[in-house]
Amino acid sequence: MKRICFFSGDITRGGGTESVAVLIANGLAGQGKHEILFLSLVEQQRTPAFYIRPEIRRYHLGEKWIQPGPGYLAVLPKLRRFLREQRVDILVDIDIVLDILSLPVRRGTRIKVVSWGHFSFYFEQESLYRRWILRFGAKRADYCITINEENCRCYEQYLHRDKALRTIYNPAVSGRRQDIVSGSESGHARDVALGSESGHVRDAASGSESGHARDVASDSGCSCVKKTVPETVLGERYILWAGRLTEIKGVDYLAETAERVLKILPGWKWLVAGDGELQGWLENFSREHGLVDRLVLLGRVADLEPYYKDAGIFVLTSHSEGLPMCLLEAKSHGLPCVSFDIRTGPGEIIRDGVNGYLVEPYDCGRLAERIVKLASDDSLREQFARDAVLDMEKFDLECILDSWNEVFESLCR
């Protein structure tokens, strides 16, 4: 049995990257073939956003968030010490930026490093430091995992990486998306000191100096935050959008498209699930355009299951995606999906004109037309819903876990 450590910036966060990493780690731990660990640079929440199986131990290296740069130098000896003391065999970097830490410290060891990219290759090119780290990791990692085929082609064409490289999709989760643990501190996370007073980092529970890395085990008896569909939309026809309210998610396009659509469809509402830095802006937009009762901002939703179940259409307006989890989830619930045909992500999930529509990027007028077409035709929506299952086998969790196990086996030969 190998010890496999998933390395994160902060595994307690509630983002899509953390969601996928926890889902994969939980699945692998459940198989019992390997011992699974989580290591974070920091843990800014005591209780993780997503349920982590109790046998998966969590550790973190520091107390305060560290921006990539010179501050990473202080992390290197802590990381090396952790990997040695925990006898890690394979380190999976949950974001290419962490390659800049893991690859130097594994020198002189037998540890294998897997570089797991979660963003579009083209998005990575927009930042100088991420672009440089991408090339660094592609050249030196023992294995590179991409989450879509376009990224894989870019690795081959532009980074000249053609071995120990494969695409492993994010899984589409049917049923509940993932259990989201409540923020109460009622025994849902147990804090375990690792040893003598060595002063390397602080213990999770009390902040006392009690071990080399903070070790936190999740309790299996966690309670879950549940949000039901508000009474104001019960029985209503609605379009669903879900994601962080940030620029990269195309909140401006969301607003423009929603205004166009809701003017034409008086019997429909548009629900927005998520929070973020542009929430205030979107609330003001809704008020200024007289859409308060129809463009409904739900805030952060713990369980999207009932929303997917009752929605008529799902819409994605992002500028950039790696492989959007919300689109996979919507499709797994039989929802017709409409999205901009951005360079990576939606095109590998939606069959245009078969189970959804792909629209020229950022053409809000055309996006609105496609949404209105679907909303106005019950039989077309039903047809698209029936065909939502097409191509979903490649997003099956068991198949994806098999792919991860093949990677690990190849590294252990």
> What is the pLDDT confidence band of residue 173, given thresholds at 50, 70 and 90?
confident
Assigned domain for 228 exists: no
Task: Note whether 106 and 55 are same-domain residues.
Answer: yes
Same domain flag for 13 and 157: yes
Is 7 part of any domain?
A: yes
Backbone φ, ψ for residue 150 (5° rounding): -65, -45
Flag whether pLDDT at 210 surpasses 80: no
In a domain, 232, yes or no: no
Domain membership flag for residue 121 = yes
Same domain, 145 and 62: yes
* pLDDT exceeds cutoff 90 at 64: no
pLDDT for 175 beyond 50: no
Of the pLDDT bands very low, low, confident and very high (cuts 50, 70, 90), residue 232 is low
Whether 198 and 261 share a structural domain: no
Specify the pairing of strand 214-218 against strand 189-192.
antiparallel
**Domain assignment present for 177:** no
**Model pLDDT for residues 12-56, shown as the tens digit of each residue:** 998 889 999 999 999 999 999 999 999 999 999 999 999 999 999
Looking up residue 211, the CATH number of its domain turns out to be 3.40.50.2000
Note the pTM of the prediction, 2 decimals: 0.78
Please state, as a whole number, how many other Cβ atoms lie within 10 Å of the Cβ of residue 96.
23
Residues 248 and 197 in one domain: no
* Residue 185, pLDDT score: 36
The answer to whether residues 316 and 404 belong to one domain is no
Which pLDDT belongs to residue 182?
27
Domain tally, the chain:
2
One domain for residues 345 and 376: yes
Q: Report residue 394: phi and psi, to 5°.
A: -70, -10
Which range marks the domain in which residue 216 is found?
A: 3-171+185-222+396-411
By C-alpha distance, which of 302, 161, 295 is closest to 236? Answer: 295
Mean pLDDT rounded to a whole number for the chain? 86
Query: How many C-alpha atoms does 190 have within 13 Å on its Cβ side?
Result: 13
CB neighbourhood size of 53 (10 A): 16
Q: Which two tokens stand for residue 370?
A: 């496609």
Query: Same structural domain for residues 212 and 258?
Result: no
* SS3 label, residue 348: helix
Residue 332 located in a structural domain: yes
Shared-domain flag, residues 75 and 58? yes
Q: Which residue has the tokens 């989830």?
A: 329
**Does 260 fall in a domain?**
yes
Q: Are residues 136 and 155 in the same domain?
A: yes
pLDDT tens-digit series, residues 233-291: 555 799 999 999 999 999 999 999 999 999 999 999 999 999 999 999 999 999 999 99
pLDDT of residue 151: 95
Q: Does 367 fall in a domain? A: yes
Q: Residue 413's pLDDT band (boundaries 50, 70, 90)? A: confident
Both 60 and 29 in one domain: the answer is yes
Per-residue pLDDT tens digits for 374-388: 999 999 999 999 999
Residues 364 and 402 both lie in one domain: no
